[in-house]
Amino acid sequence: MNTTTTLTPGQVRSRLHDLTVIDVRTPGEYASGHVPGAFNIPLDLIGHAVTELGEVADRGGLLMVCASGARSDSACALLAEHGIPASTLVGGTSAWVNEGHELHRPDGPTRSTWAMERQVRLTAGSLVLAGLGLGLLHPAWHLLSAGVAGGLVFSALTDTCGMAALLARLPHNRPRQADLDRTLAALRRD
């Protein structure tokens, strides 16, 4: 049973007061700007929040959001496996901004983290350049560049990104456990 629906930015805007919004991006991406009222539960921690998200879905609409819609689709699929209905924002925060809606940014000092897509581009480009440069010393290093290129093609064909999954595990992209606990406590109160 597919319990996932899609909502456009305009539909979300008109229903924002009725929805519980969960941003599944990394904490750094979330801090750089998110849909107003969104809670941050990174995709790799959604499994730890299934109980609370099920309770939220029982009380009203549950909307999953990411930068482009791919990670929120994955979150919705995971929730659907548990019988939890959820919607995803078509086009993610990128579409939200493109339609002229504002993103909320936390008050006070925050640590600036690049969006995951930008981190992947930097890492992939750096590895390709390193492979090409080291290939001048020994041709076998060209395999590094070829491997990254193959990974990018696979990523595009499958709409998954192994490099993003690895980068999400870096300390600056991971939430502290207390942050997840605080978010889950807030979800229980709402």
Which residues have CB under 8 Å from 77's CB, separation 6+? 4
pLDDT value at position 26?
86
CA distance 11 to 16: 8
Residue among 56, 79, 62 nearest 12 (CA): 62
Per-residue pLDDT of the chain (190 residues; tens, 9 = 90+): 455 699 999 999 999 989 999 999 988 788 888 999 999 999 989 999 999 999 999 998 999 999 999 999 999 999 999 999 999 999 999 999 999 999 988 765 555 667 788 899 999 999 999 999 999 999 999 999 999 999 999 998 988 888 988 998 888 777 655 588 888 888 887 6
pLDDT value at position 116?
84
pLDDT value at position 1?
46
pLDDT value at position 41?
94
